Structure 1
Amino acid sequence: MPYLRVDEGDLYYHRVGEGAPLVFVNDWVLSQTYWQDVTQELSRDYCCVTYDPRGVGQSRTFQPNASYAIEAHAEDLHQVIISLRSGLVHVVGHGLGGLFAGLCLRAHPQDVQTLSLISAEAEIGASEVLDGRLKYIQTLIILRRLATVPLLRSLILRRYSLGELPVSARRALVSDFAHLNPRASWETIGTALEQRTYDEYIAGVSQANVPVLLLACGRDHLVSVESARKLFARIHRGRLVTMHGSGHFPMSEYPQKFTEILRDFLAATERSAPI
């Protein structure tokens, strides 16, 4: 199996295709498998790289005292990028993976040629909303071992807008949740939802001189279209696209449309056309 050595452990990764490199960064506690439909199509023209973040999927061989803070994830992304030895790369971040990508861009602007953020949040939210979110996440972590029980599985699918996904995709996502590392998942989300993290993330995205694609989803219960609009108002170069019929996982619900949007954005940047 292909592994990349990083600080404190080894990251499992998958690479397919030839051409300019695209690195895909997963949402919270999810393994890289849900990008498969998209990378299979894009690999005709690009070198597509997906990986399991530390503590997730097959990237579990980390030291007992390893850090799972958001900054560690951002540095892991940097290590993935430099391991390609290709110079600038295109980075695609989904959900919390968008924070990893934005922080990596902030710390290592020399890594990134374009940044695509899928279901990206623009603000941390009011304190009461944040408290409620943290309590809900804590409950999900505690109940993770019951994720295969039909009733709880149904609740998870409904909460994360997964009901419209293909059956195979739903099973894979629920399996990721059922096998999550409690300390890794809590430390990651806890540090991600700190105000300082969002300040650095917003600075990385808004101050960078790279083209940015923001993809919002009209049926996303987790991140609103309005959040994407707020973030779009702060960037220098880029485009905002809304998939009105999609939930939180457009790459799984509508892989062909998702691929078309991403391919069109990348082609526009490569020919220096208006974004």
Structure 2
Amino acid sequence: MPSLRTTDGVDLHYEDVGEGTPMVFVHEYAGDHRAWEAQLRFFARRYRCIAFAARGYPPSAVPADPASYSQDRATDDIAEVIQKLNLAPAHVVGLSMGGFATLHLGLRYPHLARSLVAAGVGYGASPDKREQFWAETDATIARIRAEGMDKMANIYGHGPTRLIFEQKDPRGFAEFITQLAEHSTEGSALTMQGVQRQRPSLWDLREGFAKMTTPTLVIAGDEDDPTLEASIFLKRTIHSSALLVMPKCGHTMNLEDPDAFNRAVLEFVTHVDAGTWRNRIPASLSGGIIR
């Protein structure tokens, strides 16, 4: 299995398929590199596609040191994948935890990204939800350690923003739960503690987002309530961005509605590669309603 070693000595497994302009996929907390299979099969027909397993997610290494897990480290790992595989500049597509890291890549390593897709981003990001998010993550970490991911998968996977996935695609949802149950208990706990819980609020990054010029597509499911407000905030703050809200869709949008997700991302990157992706028209930000 192909892997690369980061500068801090962590081996990251990756899948590499297709030829053409590079496209890197960054998975969510409850997923891994396998969650992008429908995207690899679609985009590898015309792009070179890379999907990697984050640290803490076998077959990538599971460092035991809690200091090995952070938002900055997750962002650095994307950068190292791009640099070590000579992919720059790449289209970068991230979901949830991977979407947060993708946005941070745009802030810290804009030269490595041709475009950014931030899907399902916003859990715990609103200033008025921080305390609730910390309390829920602390409780989840404790339960993961006590019960193990083989048991916690069914509980975590049935969170409120994923129920519509089970309703419309029971087979796909069952596969999602099976893969989640295979995750490392220690890696899952450390990732939630170091990456999820400790990441800054998106609102704290407003100044940096306002300066971003990398083409950005923000995608939200309309039944993924924790991400809706944050997605609108990102659209209003990143002037090189557009917002897509997918109807009757929850958090795991690339699995729930892969065709609609793939087509939306394809249209976006096609515009970027053609040089026809435009920034927000300044006059549209006047604040006026009619004029």
Q: TM-score normalised to the size of structure 2?
A: 0.82
| Cα-to-partner distance string for 1:202-251 (whole Å, 9 max, x where unaligned) | 55544221111000101225x33232111111001121111011111111
User: Secondary structure of 2:157's match?
Assistant: helix
Counterpart Cα distance in 2 of 1:142 and 1:63:
14
- 1:168 Cα deviation from its structure 2 partner: 5.0
2:118 corresponds in structure 1 to: 117
Counterpart Cα distance in 1 of 2:58 and 2:206:
28
Counterpart Cα distance in 2 of 1:36 and 1:56:
16
Q: Are residue 258 (structure 1) and residue 261 (structure 2) matched?
A: yes
Counterpart Cα distance in 2 of 1:189 and 1:199:
20
Change (3 A) 1:251 1:143: farther
Contact 1:81 1:111 in 2 (8 A): yes
Counterpart Cα distance in 2 of 1:235 and 1:30:
27
2:75 corresponds in structure 1 to: 74
Counterpart Cα distance in 1 of 2:38 and 2:45:
12
1:17 corresponds in structure 2 to: 18
- 1:183 Cα deviation from its structure 2 partner: 4.3
Counterpart Cα distance in 2 of 1:148 and 1:63:
21
User: Secondary structure of 2:25's match?
Assistant: strand
Q: Are residue 239 (structure 1) and residue 242 (structure 2) matched?
A: yes
Q: Could you list the runs of 5+ residues in structure 1 that have no partner in the other structure?
A: none
> RMSD of the TM alignment (CA)?
2.7
1:36-185 pair list within 5 angstroms:
36-60=37-61, 62=63, 67-121=68-122, 123=126, 125-142=128-145, 144-145=147-148, 147-148=150-151, 153=154, 156-161=157-162, 162-164=165-167, 166-167=169-170, 169-185=172-188
- Percent identity over the alignment is 22
2:281 corresponds in structure 1 to: none
1:5 corresponds in structure 2 to: 5
Contact 2:149 2:182 in 1 (8 A): no
Q: Could you list the runs of 5+ residues in structure 2 that have no partner in the other structure?
A: 279-291
Change (3 A) 1:180 1:206: farther
Q: TM-score normalised to the size of structure 1?
A: 0.86
1:193 corresponds in structure 2 to: 197
Contact 1:166 1:252 in 2 (8 A): no
- 1:120 Cα deviation from its structure 2 partner: 1.1
Paired positions, count: 272
Contact 1:13 1:51 in 2 (8 A): yes
Contact 2:2 2:14 in 1 (8 A): yes
